[in-house]
Amino acid sequence: MFLGHFGLALAAKKAVPSVSLGTLCVAGQLLDVLWPVFLTAGWERVRVDPGNTVVTPFDFLHYPWSHSLAMAALWAALFAGGHFAFRRDLKAAGILAALVLSHWLLDFITHRPDLPLYPGGAKVGLGLWNNFQATLAAELVLFAAGMFLYESSTQAKDKVGSRSLFLFAIVLLVTYMGNVLGPPPPPETAVIASAGFAMWLLFGWAFWFDRHRAPKVPASG
């Protein structure tokens, strides 16, 4: 998934308004943040295989360190623990841990059986990616719900806060549609990994415009 992970991060802002949307997005995408690092280091492997599933041409050959369930739980604990060490906010740490783990759960629904339960363990996946219409519906519903919850629980302080949110949504939608409808990427590992590294630009953008929004104050009376 792509939009779905961002959708859950956007929705989580309602539960923990003190946490930056950028932080929430990093948590929701943490496994995909780690993946290009491990891919570049040679610890994990992928190949471009058009037709591997209807939605994506990637054949995830080996990615137990970023995408196994056991390691996802470890990354969740480390990420949440790091946040708690600095912020002393147990609720926020719990939400961040849940977001990290939600990535594996959504991937379990979409991937074919290529997600290991632990390094060297059995591989699982329900294969939603073999149904284009169902995948698109799931992504758009999760993203739309997240956008609604974020927008309805925060308010813009200025034009940056309102316009940037709209542009952020458009960029995510265009990026996603370009990925699923466009041609397969070049097979070079560095090129594939670069897309993952580019996601940091989206996180930075979310950090920035979230500072131009504030929790919405309920109307009195």
pLDDT in tens, 175-193: 999 999 999 888 888 888 9
Of 212, 198, 90, the closest CA to residue 163 belongs to 212
Would residue 26 count as lying in a domain?
yes
Of 142, 143, 108, the closest CA to residue 127 belongs to 108
Cα–Cα distance measured from residue 73 to residue 114, given in angstroms and rounded to the nearest whole number: 18
| Structural domains in the chain (count) | 1
Whether residue 118 contacts residue 78, with contact meaning beta carbons closer than 8 Å, is answered with no
Of 132, 135, 26, the closest CA to residue 83 belongs to 26
Write out the residue range of the structural domain in which residue 18 sits.
Answer: 3-212
Cα–Cα distance measured from residue 199 to residue 197, given in angstroms and rounded to the nearest whole number: 5
Res 217 pLDDT > 80: no
Would residue 166 count as lying in a domain?
yes
Please state the pTM of the whole predicted model: 0.95
Would residue 85 count as lying in a domain?
yes
- The pLDDT tens digits for 81-137 are 999 999 999 999 999 999 999 999 999 999 999 999 999 999 999 999 999 999 999
